[in-house]
Structure 1
């Protein structure tokens, strides 16, 4: 189901994508073969018409010289249709399930760039090699499973069929519960900070300007400011004055406020 991964123990397995991987077999005139299965990229999500490319290196015994072997590599590029629908010689797909598979491919011979060490696209050939004439087209054919075509030098390319492939993501997060606990703790702290009443209180203490009965008096002034929730701040401030200065001072403060 969507957003319901397969769970294996503490691992979660997500399906990221799927498609088809055609299989081709190249048989050289010596009888040696190379078989390769490689995924093609789905170009149409509705019919799963897919495109891709393959590269084959000839057997080492055929061409002992590395340069000569490089000039005789085989490359395939084209389309795969899980349910073939032919429009003349043009191939398209009528249905995403593999009911009547077929391929429409271009076959090249030459330097496919297998041993250059340079990165290449998995789904297309290097156009620069084709434009430079280092990779030359030999044939263009439509094939169904089991069908083959033979090049002028006797090399045979056979389409063997296709298999399904899936793209999976496996996730393992042993600290997931701790992350949840930390997130909840942060949210709780944020809520507490929003609920706390923010108050500011200033106290100023200075000696009185006159002396009474031989004693010097000290004047204490208090001020307060409510940053939020000012309702009821007056009573709260009076209670604070009473705690700091005593009830008599609080009473005088109330009379002064009146």
Structure 2
């Protein structure tokens, strides 16, 4: 017995089974349930980006994580956990969510437009079976009953039937689905705005000291850390320069900050910074496509060091705040101290002072905390080190802390016990050198940022709220009247859960009976 093979689809035509399978999977992908699952998956996928250090935010913290976790960090790096928002799996979830929302919303939008264009449906044959119904005798015609519904902003349709009866159909609550669609399309807009910002945005953070010597221009070499979108290069950055002219902070008596304000000079298009601007926390400086934000502030103790040969150097290195009282820690380095007889740098006799700065120091020891964040009685606790600072070994390091590897190997050694200096005081060290707390300067932390997706995100967020309100408060419902002679029958149906519909229907019927 010979069995005929199933017919093959004609060349160039898709198999019905393949089409059916594609439609099935497309239906699954574009369902609201899948969209919610993908939205939850996106939130979960973003968690590592909030917990773990990210290269796009702070490369030094990523390097420190590798040092602290030498076995786990390489495996995590292969999983893109230090570049979460650039990871292929994050982009896949993001893309699938976008496609799912588009595929889900377009049919719903089409159905909603058709529903708005359709006339309210005719009254059912037996209105007495409706959840809400009533019947009475009245000489009021269908026109007056239609007027009752129109006064309550129902869409109304009047129909005459062959048996001589007239029906009045009213429907209300289309704004519920309108708000629902606005809400979901706004979520889609948020996805687009965030994606545009991630692809074409950039940011750079900088500790900015006062004076022309500490001014900076917008290039990557002058930022402490920065992040560029995948479609942005250093050549795309706008040209501007910024200089700190002055800073003022106000505090309550309990030390709580009231205002931070900085006077800055800026210049755009490669011009020198001459334009003035009063920069505050919530009032950024806007320069074309870039904004400059004030993020924080701190102190720079000015330390003057004179070595045993009489050579004087000055350090203006910012100290970083440790707590709300502005107790700050930092290091002042003097790599050119104690030169050899030939004037060459002697790496074994370089000097550094690790210490803490106290804006308002107590009158007596211990000098371990600041009494107030403003500089009312400034002082600095210093711990001197002598030896090789490790600046010439080619390894990257921080200017705000000593290289602990040099200390651990003994190449950089403590010179003597620590000591405390108030502003203007000096201390002579064991080798005859002198260090003086000469003065105090202020610094601010600024962030230059460009996010082209920000306007899209802003208006989408507004649309989310605008759409959420009617989708939660407006209820879809229908009311019908059937007039046959002097007999009037009314029925009502709530299309969505509406505990107050019975009261509303009663009010409508009461108004209809009074006509």
Q: Please report the TM-score for the alignment, with normalisation by the length of structure 2.
A: 0.32
Indicate the larger mover: 111-120 or 32-41: 111-120
Q: Which residue of 2 aligns with 1:5?
A: 284
Deviation at 1:170, TM superposition (A): 2.4
What SS does the corresponding residue of 2:314 show, helix, strand or coil?
A: strand
Q: Distance in 2 between matches of 1:87 and 1:61?
A: 37
Aligned positions of 1:1-258 closer than 5 A: 2-8=281-287, 11-44=290-323, 46-58=324-336, 62-64=340-342, 69-85=346-362, 88-139=365-416, 140-172=418-450, 180=456
Q: Distance in 2 between matches of 1:108 and 1:41?
A: 20
Q: Distance in 1 between matches of 2:389 and 2:330?
A: 14
Give the conservation status (yes or no) of the 8 Å contact 2:313–2:334: yes
Distance 1:48 1:116, change over 3 A: same
Give the conservation status (yes or no) of the 8 Å contact 1:101–1:161: no
Q: Which residue of 2 aligns with 1:217?
A: none
Q: Distance in 2 between matches of 1:22 and 1:43?
A: 15
Distance 1:60 1:95, change over 3 A: closer
Deviation at 1:6, TM superposition (A): 3.0
Give the conservation status (yes or no) of the 8 Å contact 2:308–2:338: no
CA root-mean-square deviation = 3.0
Q: Identify unmatched segments of 5+ residues in structure 2.
A: 1-279, 468-515
Describe the superposition over 1:160-212 as per-residue Cα deviations: whole angstroms up to 9, x where unpaired. 12211001122356x669x749x88xx9xxx9xxxxxxxxxxxxxxxxxxxxx
Describe the superposition over 1:73-126 as per-residue Cα deviations: whole angstroms up to 9, x where unpaired. 001101001111256233310111111110111001111112222112232212
Distance 1:41 1:2, change over 3 A: closer
Indicate the larger mover: 110-119 or 86-95: 86-95
Deviation at 1:60, TM superposition (A): 8.1
Describe the superposition over 1:16-41 as per-residue Cα deviations: whole angstroms up to 9, x where unpaired. 21111111111112221110101111
Q: Distance in 1 between matches of 2:338 and 2:404?
A: 26
Structure number with higher helix proportion: 2
Higher CA-based Rg? 1
Q: Distance in 1 between matches of 2:386 and 2:318?
A: 21
Deviation at 1:13, TM superposition (A): 1.8
Indicate the larger mover: 155-164 or 69-78: 155-164
Number of matched pairs: 182
Distance 1:166 1:56, change over 3 A: same
Q: Distance in 1 between matches of 2:440 and 2:390?
A: 25
Distance 1:135 1:61, change over 3 A: closer
Give the conservation status (yes or no) of the 8 Å contact 2:285–2:293: yes
Deviation at 1:2, TM superposition (A): 4.9
Give the conservation status (yes or no) of the 8 Å contact 2:321–2:327: yes
Q: Distance in 2 between matches of 1:34 and 1:2?
A: 35
Give the conservation status (yes or no) of the 8 Å contact 1:47–1:94: yes
Deviation at 1:155, TM superposition (A): 1.3
Distance 1:163 1:65, change over 3 A: closer
Distance 1:79 1:160, change over 3 A: same
